[in-house]
Structure 1
Amino acid sequence: MEISQGSAVLAGAETTLHAQAPVGKLKRAKAVAAITIGNGLEYFEFTSYSFFAIIIGKLYFPATGDIAQLLLVTATFGIGFVARPVGGLLLGAYADRAGRKAAMTLTLQLMALGSALIVFAPTYAQIGLAAPMLIVAARLLQGFALGGEIGASTSLLMEYADDSSRGFYGGLQAVSQNLSALLGALTGLLLTAVLSTAALEGWGWRIPFAIGLLMGPLGVFIRRNLHETLDDGPVAGGKRSQGSAIRTVFAQHRKQMVAGILLTMGNTAAIYITLYYIPTYASKILHMSMSAGLAAACVAAAVAAVTAPFAGKLSDRIGRKKVFGAFCVLLALVIYPAFRLINAYVMLEVLLPTIALLSVLTTFIAVPGLVMLPEMFPRPVRVTGMSVVYCVGVSIFGGFAPFFATELMALSGSKLAPSWYVIACVLIALLSLPLIQDKAGRPLD
């Protein structure tokens, strides 16, 4: 298998950069584990919010009517993504100047600080408007941190991989993210099973964020011995600066930025509707129990975690663009009938397999989409470029996907509106493919 061959130094002029990277199967495996586990720890903290959105909305965003409250809490979920482009720009440039490790350590610390704000935030009943302001501040801080994390960690992962295994490595990144979402959903299921409603709303919902707070130091410890890959590549002029990385991306890589945002539009809209919005949709729209919605999220995350390596491997074999394009079309064809089905038969036996199918299709879009982003940019500006395009796409079309879907339902009166949103996003994402060079099996630099 290609991974096992990664211990040898790649030969030839076109792979010289890889020859400077760390070699050895054990060292490479430890590095991949450190990168992906650290990334997963940060996603656990950020995504736990979506699984407790109903309780947080009740405690911090009081409003009349289910839809009004749902709009408030989904907007706050989206606010966490507003800071992502800023974090992507500043922390991405920092990673391209000071190194991937330094940036990833900083993002872990910022994420833990955001979790601390949520853990200790008094409710609206206790301090009034200051309470939702604290939640918004925490979400902005976490969004800023993740804006830098995804670009730095994914770029580092791609720089560790060889030319024939980058898709597979990108699949491992998706595995860590989905396992963290699964852990968050399972934590929610456990808390709803063992705690009374009063205890859950009083203090139990804070437990996942307390866990996230403790994970910050663990992530820093796990990543302490990573090899820095920034200096493995050549730099024009012999030096890097934060300003030059930002200027270079905006001046020389406009086509890649447009393509990257369109690409991200499709995969994130699908992810945030089929995974993170489902618990809220099942509870508020289908009027199922909170545990049913969390069970659906568990299934979606587990299926995605199992499927992701295969999606990456397929993209290594036949090309990223072919896999991404084919599954965008498949999801566009399937998601509307899927939403009709779960609305016509409101039962767990229908909801779970339907969500599992949507999760498979979404994963085969998300993994090649994620891998193509760092492949678009050269090493000296890779983190900056990837962070900006990914965070802009995620912020607008992913983070606010639950809000847009809810608003579409309110305007149209149709419970099927979330599927319309996903169909539009994945079809528009296809416009990015002619702008992208498929680098499957080709040198990264």
Structure 2
Amino acid sequence: MAGNNRRNIAAGSIGTALEMYDFAVYGFLAPILGPLFFPSDDHLASLLSAFAVFAVGYLARPLGAALFGHIGDRYGRKISMAASISLMGIATLCLAVLPTHAQLGTTAALLLVICRIAQGLSLGGEYTGSMVFLAEHAPIARRGAMTAISQTSSIAGFLIGSGLCAFISWQLGETEMAAWGWRIPFIFGAVIAVGGLVIRRFVSEPPGVLRQDHLPVLVVFRDHWRILFRMICMLMMGGVGFYLLFVYVAAYLREFMHFTTARALEINTISLLVILLTSIPFAMLSDRVGRKPVLYGVAIATLVLGWPLWQLLHHQSFAVILSGQIGLALISAATFAVIPATISEMMPAHIRCSGASIGYNISLGLFGGTAPFVATYLVERTGDDSTPAYYMMALAVIMLLALRGMRETAGKPLAVEPIENRADPP
């Protein structure tokens, strides 16, 4: 049994890392891809176009959540996890060989959008499918820590993507990176996706979970919409904060603070490493004191420290910028360390994949994925570089309201049987 658990943890976590790497590389390379696929005399317009396509991938995530959540609840977690990583590998390979605007004209931009939609569909079911899978295999007292492995895995994927992009930029320089070097991270991602698919062949289904006979998505919206709404409100701030920090800020440092791509990605990589090292301790804390106290702390910290930490990002000193980024990264680490267990515990077993996936991906699709675009637009329109911090602080208030009245779920058995009293299918 211990061996099976180790295989299940490895399959869930490694696959998530690979998928997140494939999805995130586009965001790190957005300042390079903008002029290649959306050429314009106005460099800001090209960057906005690239971020808009980044957002399209996130807007597709709720559809992927419904699709792969349906597969997970109806046909099993294993099939869903294998299908999601296969789609991600195919889409990433297509990105690696995609002609640019100079070679194919506006058709290149259309194909780029299609690839990002496919990636968004895949990731929509992957991350939450993995966290539900880990939650259903975890002991009660360590559910927070075990499900946080999905978070650390996704951060590892981000970290690998940021580190590899930074390394390639250092080796090739700005000119060669824009000419052809940007394709290397995508090629690497397509290759390792094959390895993830092989690993997932050996996972086992969680014990005792009944498969949903009806359409899971309809059951979620019909019977559990209040839980879904609370979940979305609770998650908005974390998604916006994370993608402002690790996508928008990297582009901002490059375009407006005149950092090199490699230098901006170096800051990103260090901050991601901080999250990677602190997520499990925050999750273990939630196992001891509860999910709600940690999440309350996150929202209050954002309200109190969000603006001062954001100001540090506008300093000319590398050390000062890094300290601001690390401060915001710690808030982000606490948020996403606790979220996997919390949303897995909020939904009943028979629609857990669909419910958790839909809630998580609606929030990240509508708010997290659009955050770089919204921040770029607001700063340009208002002339105030602090606008993204105000955005995060407003969402922290919504998070506090969502936490009020929410039941504490830490330390309680994870329901295996459906809430409804229905007979097993013949």
Aligned partner letter, 2:60 = A
Q: Does 1:213 align with 2:185?
A: no
Q: 2 CA distance for matches of 1:341 and 1:220?
A: 42
Q: How much has 1:277 moved relative to structure 2?
A: 2.0
Q: Does 1:115 align with 2:92?
A: yes
The aligned residue for residue 208 of structure 2 is 232
Q: Is the 8 A contact 1:259 1:435 kept in 2?
A: no
Aligned partner letter, 2:340 = L
Q: Does 1:252 align with 2:223?
A: yes
Q: Is the 8 A contact 1:331 1:362 kept in 2?
A: no
The aligned residue for residue 388 of structure 1 is 358
The aligned residue for residue 90 of structure 1 is 67
Q: How much has 1:69 moved relative to structure 2?
A: 2.1
Q: Is the 8 A contact 1:35 1:157 kept in 2?
A: yes
The aligned residue for residue 335 of structure 2 is 365
The aligned residue for residue 346 of structure 1 is 316
Q: Does 1:297 align with 2:273?
A: no
Q: Is the 8 A contact 2:248 2:375 kept in 1?
A: no
Q: How much has 1:274 moved relative to structure 2?
A: 1.5
The aligned residue for residue 375 of structure 1 is 345
The aligned residue for residue 242 of structure 2 is 271
Q: 1 CA distance for matches of 2:344 and 2:21?
A: 23
Q: Does 1:442 align with 2:419?
A: no
Provide the secondary structure at the position in 2 that maps to 1:331.
Answer: helix
Q: Does 1:57 align with 2:6?
A: no
1:385-416 Cα deviation digits (max 9, x unpaired):
01111110000110000011111101110112
The aligned residue for residue 431 of structure 1 is 401
The aligned residue for residue 416 of structure 1 is 386
Q: Is the 8 A contact 1:78 1:395 kept in 2?
A: yes
Q: Is the 8 A contact 1:171 1:310 kept in 2?
A: no
Q: 1 CA distance for matches of 2:340 and 2:42?
A: 38
Q: 2 CA distance for matches of 1:107 and 1:436?
A: 31
Q: Is the 8 A contact 2:68 2:125 kept in 1?
A: yes
Q: Is the 8 A contact 1:274 1:300 kept in 2?
A: no
Q: How much has 1:339 moved relative to structure 2?
A: 2.0
1:40-87 Cα deviation digits (max 9, x unpaired):
100000001111111100100112323322211111110001111111
The aligned residue for residue 70 of structure 1 is 47
Q: Is the 8 A contact 2:140 2:414 kept in 1?
A: yes
Q: Does 1:145 align with 2:122?
A: yes
The aligned residue for residue 403 of structure 1 is 373
Q: 1 CA distance for matches of 2:215 and 2:157?
A: 35
Provide the secondary structure at the position in 1 that maps to 2:350.
Answer: helix
Q: How much has 1:332 moved relative to structure 2?
A: 2.3
1:117-141 Cα deviation digits (max 9, x unpaired):
2111111111110011111000000
The aligned residue for residue 14 of structure 1 is none
Q: How much has 1:179 moved relative to structure 2?
A: 1.1
Aligned counterpart in structure 2 of residue 306 of structure 1, from 270, 277, 280: 277
The aligned residue for residue 10 of structure 1 is none
Q: How much has 1:435 moved relative to structure 2?
A: 4.5
After TM superposition, list the pairs within 5 Å mapping 1:22-61 onto structure 2.
23-24=1-2, 26-61=3-38
Q: 2 CA distance for matches of 1:184 and 1:74?
A: 17
Q: Is the 8 A contact 1:67 1:410 kept in 2?
A: no
Q: How much has 1:193 moved relative to structure 2?
A: 1.0
Q: 2 CA distance for matches of 1:287 and 1:196?
A: 15
Q: TM-score, normalised by structure 2?
A: 0.95
RMSD across aligned positions (CA): 1.4
Q: Is the 8 A contact 2:35 2:43 kept in 1?
A: no
Change (3 A) 1:196 1:275: closer
Q: 2 CA distance for matches of 1:180 and 1:228?
A: 24
Q: Does 1:161 align with 2:138?
A: yes
Q: How much has 1:430 moved relative to structure 2?
A: 1.7
Q: Is the 8 A contact 1:267 1:369 kept in 2?
A: no
1:191-224 Cα deviation digits (max 9, x unpaired):
1111133321121101111011112210011122
Q: Is the 8 A contact 2:76 2:205 kept in 1?
A: yes
Q: Is the 8 A contact 1:256 1:435 kept in 2?
A: no
Q: Is the 8 A contact 1:299 1:355 kept in 2?
A: no
Q: Is the 8 A contact 2:312 2:323 kept in 1?
A: no
Aligned partner letter, 1:427 = V
Q: 1 CA distance for matches of 2:321 and 2:163?
A: 17
Q: 2 CA distance for matches of 1:329 and 1:281?
A: 26
Q: 2 CA distance for matches of 1:365 and 1:71?
A: 28
Range with bigger deviation, 313-322 or 323-332: 323-332
Q: 1 CA distance for matches of 2:194 and 2:148?
A: 25
Q: How much has 1:157 moved relative to structure 2?
A: 0.5
Range with bigger deviation, 102-111 or 424-433: 424-433
Q: 1 CA distance for matches of 2:77 and 2:405?
A: 27
Paired positions, count: 415
The aligned residue for residue 161 of structure 2 is 184
Q: Is the 8 A contact 1:41 1:215 kept in 2?
A: yes
Aligned partner letter, 1:404 = V
Q: 2 CA distance for matches of 1:219 and 1:337?
A: 41
Q: 1 CA distance for matches of 2:391 and 2:126?
A: 27
Q: 1 CA distance for matches of 2:64 and 2:312?
A: 39
Q: TM-score, normalised by structure 1?
A: 0.91
The aligned residue for residue 5 of structure 1 is none
